[in-house]
């Protein structure tokens, strides 16, 4: 598994989604510095989530008889249902706060795309 490349792509995707949603309301020119600085906490959160949820599933389930594609087809639907429920619950509980919507939308989209990136890696 090419974890560093996946983490870099996930961080970039999450950052872009997060700031596109926030900038839909309005954006102050003074906040541009925070956009670049936000890459650090977004990378940390992305790394923790991907390593603890997605990678652990692939590490535990993948073996000689059960390849990445089979792991994806077996566990991905359950993962999506659980993550979607958590994200919707958090967004509704926050009273539809823009920053919470941006955070959990970026989490949902990024983790789903990360699953696809891991599943599409070539077999050794």
Q: Residues 60-77: pLDDT tens digits?
A: 988 878 888 899 999 999
Structure tokens at 116: 């696809």
Distance, in Å, from the CA atom of 33 to the CA atom of 118, rounded to the nearest integer, reads: 32
Q: Residues 3-31: pLDDT tens digits?
A: 999 999 999 999 999 999 998 887 788 88
Buried/exposed 36-75: b ≥16 CB within 10 Å, e otherwise:
eebeeebbebbbebbeeebbebbeeebeeeeebeebbeeb
Distance, in Å, from the CA atom of 55 to the CA atom of 94, rounded to the nearest integer, reads: 29
- Burial-class residue 9 by CB neighbours within 10 Å (0-12, 13-18, 19+): middle
Does 123 score more than 80 pLDDT?
no
**pTM for the model:** 0.86
Q: Where are the domains of the chain?
A: 3-20+40-119
- The 8 Å CB, 24+ separation contacts for 101-104 are 101/21, 102/17, 102/18, 102/19, 102/21, 102/22, 103/18
């Amino acid at each position: 598994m090419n974890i560093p490349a996946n983490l870099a792509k996930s961080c970039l995707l999450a950052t872009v989604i997060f700031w596109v949603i926030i900038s839909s309301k309005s954006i102050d020119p003074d906040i541009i510095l925070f956009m670049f600085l936000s890459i650090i906490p977004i990378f940390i959160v992305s790394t923790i989530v991907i390593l603890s949820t997605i990678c652990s599933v692939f590490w535990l389930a993948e073996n000689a008889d059960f390849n990445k594609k089979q792991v994806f087809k077996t566990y991905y639907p359950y993962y999506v249902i659980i993550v979607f429920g958590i994200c919707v619950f958090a967004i509704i509980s926050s009273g539809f706060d823009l920053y919470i919507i941006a955070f959990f939308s970026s989490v949902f989209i990024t983790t789903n795309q990360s699953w696809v990136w891991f599943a599409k890696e070539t077999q050794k």
